């Protein structure tokens, strides 16, 4: 049996923060503001996976009111979400993510992001697709105020 999940996340761009997307540090004059490292792509993937197995969302599992998640590495959080998926009897089948950002250009970093996500989820890089788009200067992403990400995943019931 297959199940599908969809995730979305957005964070504001600010100075004096590192820009981490897909688990990869990207050189840029601004970074994403958030309680953790604010990795929008990994957050969208986590919400998609949790949704696919009806396990709530990242706010339920990693609330921003809990200081232990302050500055947390989202790769660590994604690894925990993978455990939740497996505890519910599923395995990750594929991930399709979209980063929405006017700047910086994401293309040079996408292969490393795919590898990073695949490694954390224990799947092959061929099971992970990541792409990026702009909004042609429109909206908060187009004006450089923030970056958003969408993710769709499928999970399959593990065979015993």
Residue 27 counted as an annotated binding residue: no
Is 143 annotated in a binding site? The answer is: no
Annotation-wise, does 102 bind a ligand?
yes
Q: Is 74 annotated as a binding residue?
A: no
43 among the known binding-site residues? yes
Phi, psi for residue 106 in degrees, rounded to 5:
-95, -25
Is 98 annotated as ligand-binding? no
Burial 136-153 (b: 16+ CB within 10 A, else e): eeeebbbeeebbbbbbbb
Q: What angle do CA 57, 27, 15 make, to 5 degrees?
A: 70
Annotated binding residue at 108? no
Interior CA angle at 87 toward 83 and 89, to 5°? Answer: 120
Q: Is 36 a known ligand-binding residue? A: yes
Tell me whether residue 133 is annotated as binding. Answer: yes
Helices assigned H by DSSP within the chain:
40-52, 58-61, 74-87, 110-121, 139-142
Question: 62: annotated binding-site residue?
Answer: yes
Say if residue 73 carries a ligand binding annotation: no
106 carries a ligand binding annotation = yes
115 assigned to a ligand binding site:
no
Q: Known binder of ligand: residue 65?
A: yes
104 is in an annotated binding site: yes
Question: E strand or H helix at 26, and its extent?
Answer: strand 24-26
* 47 annotated ligand binder: no
Residue 103 known to bind ligand: yes
60 is in an annotated binding site: no
Residue 61 assigned ligand-binding role: no
Ligand-binding site membership of 59 (annotated):
yes
Binding-site sequence positions: 9-11, 35-36, 43, 57-59, 62-66, 101-107, 133-136, 140
As annotated, the binding site for a divalent metal cation includes: 9, 11, 43
């Amino acid at each position: 049996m297959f199940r599908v999940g969809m995730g979305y996340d957005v964070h504001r761009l600010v100075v004096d923060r590192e820009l981490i997307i897909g688990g990869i540090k990207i050189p840029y004059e601004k970074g994403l503001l958030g309680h953790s490292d604010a990795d929008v792509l990994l957050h969208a993937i986590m919400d998609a996976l949790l949704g696919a197995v009806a396990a709530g969302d990242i706010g339920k599992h990693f609330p921003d009111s809990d200081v232990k998640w302050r500055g947390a590495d989202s790769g660590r959080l994604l690894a925990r979400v993978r455990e939740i998926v497996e505890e519910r009897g599923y395995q990750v089948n594929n991930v399709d993510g979209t980063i929405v950002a006017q700047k910086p250009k994401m293309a040079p970093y996408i292969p490393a992001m795919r590898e990073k996500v695949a490694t954390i989820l224990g799947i092959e890089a061929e099971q992970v697709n990541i792409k990026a788009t702009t909004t042609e200067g429109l909206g908060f992403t187009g004006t450089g105020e923030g970056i958003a990400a969408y993710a769709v995943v499928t999970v399959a019931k593990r065979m015993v």
